[in-house]
């Protein structure tokens, strides 16, 4: 079954095959940890999770990497040149003023002046939300979720390579800029030309820019700045990296290739962020391709406007789950379903009605699962992807992740099902490896009731993880988590602490 994805690089559907058969290397731009991620961000993240889970069920190993931006993302980054204030520093200031707003519990961040503490707090909050929503990669922290601040030396190396290859230069102000004119294909992802960019920037070209940059679209790679709170020694003076360089560096480092298969993000990242990533990565590697497929999720909207942190019109995952938005608690599986159920290339409008419908759908899936469990005692038939229902479900997803088409196969089948129960359960479990909405967490949680299984005391391991986390012993927490995962458990955070649930499939 051929898989087709829409590739922003060429603005058309293209057949997808990984460069190395059976192994997909995928990079997703992750959160900037200066606030709680909102459900719009999670729409983009869950879109990446859907691609991953789908490709896994199709028989691939997916190596998925997602960064944590904890430095260098400036408030004016949409202008491509790295102007404005650092978002982490700005957040530290805001948090100090904002302390009484109640959003961040009093004392949760010991010193809100310290951007590292701010970043740590919101990183943990992100991971907690992501695990609740079933994002697989969140269970692979920190191995597959690197922090920008942990890879400054590698960024400096890439900047040096770019200078050596005449793709970058040190401006009169001492900052290092990427020269967009040195990379003739700059603009090809977003459909911009250098002339348009020059004109577009006409009104706002700062005098300083004219002095320091060769072209107004040249963007920052390193900024010497003694006054910045987060700063590192470098050949260009103490300072900090531009935002774009981190993704080029961490993609290459953690995926181990100059050319990767898929790169994802929200549509706002196409320009300048992804355009700049391509220029950096290809400039440094000399290869003809950085990411073979660029896939972008459209925005989640509220009242016709993009949900965004800077506009302040956003709902966090915790707002939605705790009932602050709708007046009643929402199960994480319901929010996951809601954020997944509309096609990634259409805007999605977040509504209470939508959430209600999703709750109904998730309930149906769970009831069906329970019926089958009762009939089969949990025994499943052996099937493969050629099973007719599964084949149809996967064929829909193979068509650029046509989720509506896939759900349109699933629900009528459940309704009219007359497959043997053990076969139906096998189909449902395979589908649930992609959707991950049934069985719902509270039912699964009973499984970790403390019994020892196969020599492992699951409950004791969970409490061990909680203790290791509380004392910030991440190594220990990871080790215990790995033990559980190897025994076939999915490990997630819950308000009551770590919960381990036996993976069904
Ligand atoms: P940020 O934390 O702002 O760097 O964004 C993290 C990810 O969320 C990026 O891939 C953005 O493109 C994406 N994103 C931001 N706002 C929205 C939205 N309203 N809907 C969907 N994705 C979004
Ligand atoms: Zn990125």
Ligand 1 pocket check: which of 8, 41, 273, 344 to mutate, most ligand atoms within 8 Å of Cβ?
41
Ligand 1 pocket check: which of 44, 145, 308 to mutate, most ligand atoms within 8 Å of Cβ?
44
User: Checking DSSP bridges between strand 3-7 and strand 12-16, what pairing results, if any?
Assistant: antiparallel
pLDDT average per 10 residues of sequence, the chain (505 residues): 96 98 98 94 98 98 97 66 71 69 78 90 97 97 97 98 98 97 97 88 63 94 92 96 96 98 97 97 98 98 86 90 91 97 96 94 95 95 97 98 98 95 97 90 40 65 87 88 83 76 56
313 CA to centre of ligand 1 in angstroms: 13
User: Checking DSSP bridges between strand 74-76 and strand 83-86, what pairing results, if any?
Assistant: antiparallel
The reported pLDDT for the residue numbered 31 is 96
- Angstrom CA distances, 278 to 2, 16, 222, 292, 407, stand at 27, 20, 17, 11, 35
Query: Which residues place a Cβ less than 5 A from the ion ligand 2?
Result: 29, 247
Cross-strand pairs, 16:
3
90 CA to centre of ligand 2 in angstroms: 20
Summarised one tens digit per residue, pLDDT across range 416-435 is 999 999 999 999 999 999 99
The reported pLDDT for the residue numbered 330 is 95
334 CA to centre of ligand 2 in angstroms: 28
Domain boundaries, the chain: 4-297, 300-435, 452-502
What residue owns the CA closest to ligand 1's atom 8? 41
The reported pLDDT for the residue numbered 448 is 39
Q: What angle do CA 371, 354, 41 make, to 5 degrees?
A: 105
Class of domain 4-297: alpha beta
Cross-strand pairs, 6:
13
CA distance 286 to 284: 6
426 CA to centre of ligand 2 in angstroms: 37
Cβ < 6 A, ligand 1 pocket = 29, 31-32, 40-41, 43-44, 69, 265-266, 268-269, 297, 299-300, 306-308
103 CA to centre of ligand 1 in angstroms: 20
The reported pLDDT for the residue numbered 443 is 42
Compute the chain's Rg from CA coordinates: 23
Summarised one tens digit per residue, pLDDT across range 206-259 is 666 778 999 999 999 999 999 888 999 999 999 999 999 999 999 999 999 999
In this structure, what are the phi and psi dihedrals at residue 61, rounded to the nearest 5 degrees? -90, 130
CA distance 351 to 222: 42
Ligand 1 pocket check: which of 28, 40, 69, 244 to mutate, most ligand atoms within 8 Å of Cβ?
40
pTM of the model: 0.86
């Amino acid at each position: 079954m051929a898989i087709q994805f829409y590739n922003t690089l060429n603005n058309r559907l293209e057949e997808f095959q990984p460069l190395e058969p059976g192994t997909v290397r995928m990079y997703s731009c992750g959160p900037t940890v200066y606030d709680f991620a909102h459900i719009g961000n999670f729409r983009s993240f869950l879109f990446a999770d859907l691609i991953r889970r789908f490709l896994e069920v199709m028989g691939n190993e997916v190596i998925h990497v997602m960064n944590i931006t904890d430095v260098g993302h400036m408030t004016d980054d949409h202008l491509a040149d790295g102007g404005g204030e650092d978002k982490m520093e700005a957040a530290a200031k805001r948090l100090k003023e904002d302390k009484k707003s109640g959003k961040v519990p009093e004392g949760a961040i010991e010193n809100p002046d310290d951007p590292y503490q701010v970043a740590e707090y919101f990183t943990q909050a992100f991971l907690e939300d992501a695990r609740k929503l079933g994002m697989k990669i969140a269970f692979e922290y920190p191995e597959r979720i690197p922090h920008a601040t942990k890879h400054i030396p590698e960024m400096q190396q890439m900047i040096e390579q770019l200078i050596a290859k005449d793709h970058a230069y040190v401006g009169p102000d001492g900052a290092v800029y990427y020269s967009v004119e040195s990379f003739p294909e700059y603009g090809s992802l977003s459909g911009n030309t250098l002339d348009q960019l020059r004109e577009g920037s006409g009104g706002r070209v700062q005098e300083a820019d004219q002095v320091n940059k060769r072209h107004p679209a040249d963007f920052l790679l390193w900024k010497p700045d003694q006054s910045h709170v987060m700063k590192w020694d470098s050949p260009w003076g103490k300072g900090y990296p531009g935002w774009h360089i981190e993704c080029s560096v961490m993609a290459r480092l953690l995926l181990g290739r100059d050319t990767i298969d898929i790169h994802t993000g929200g549509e706002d990242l196409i320009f300048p962020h992804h355009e700049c990533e391509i220029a950096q990565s290809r400039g440094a590697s000399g290869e003809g391709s950085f990411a073979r497929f660029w896939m972008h999720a459209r925005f989640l909207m509220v009242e016709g406007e993009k949900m965004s942190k800077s506009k302040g019109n956003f709902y966090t995952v915790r707002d939605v789950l705790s009932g602050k938005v709708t007046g009643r608690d929402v199960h994480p599986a319901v929010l996951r379903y809601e954020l997944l159920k509309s096609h990634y290339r259409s805007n999605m409008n977040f509504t209470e009605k939508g959430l209600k419908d999703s709750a109904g759908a998730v309930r149906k899936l769970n009831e069906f699962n329970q019926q089958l469990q009762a009939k089969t005692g949990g025994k499943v038939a052996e099937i493969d992807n050629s099973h007719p229902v599964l084949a149809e479900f996967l064929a829909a997803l193979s068509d650029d992740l046509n989720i509506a088409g896939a759900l349109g196969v699933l629900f009528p089948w459940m309704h009219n099902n007359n497959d043997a129960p053990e076969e139906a359960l096998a189909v449902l479990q395979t589908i649930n490896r992609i959707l991950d909405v049934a069985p719902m967490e509270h039912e699964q949680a009973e499984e970790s009731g403390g019994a020892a299984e196969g020599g492992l005391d699951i409950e004791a391991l969970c409490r061990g993880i909680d203790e290791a986390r509380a004392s910030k012993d991440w190594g220990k927490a990871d080790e215990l988590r790995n033990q559980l995962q190897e025994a076939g458990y999915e490990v997630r955070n819950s308000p009551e602490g770590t919960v381990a649930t036996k993976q069904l499939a």
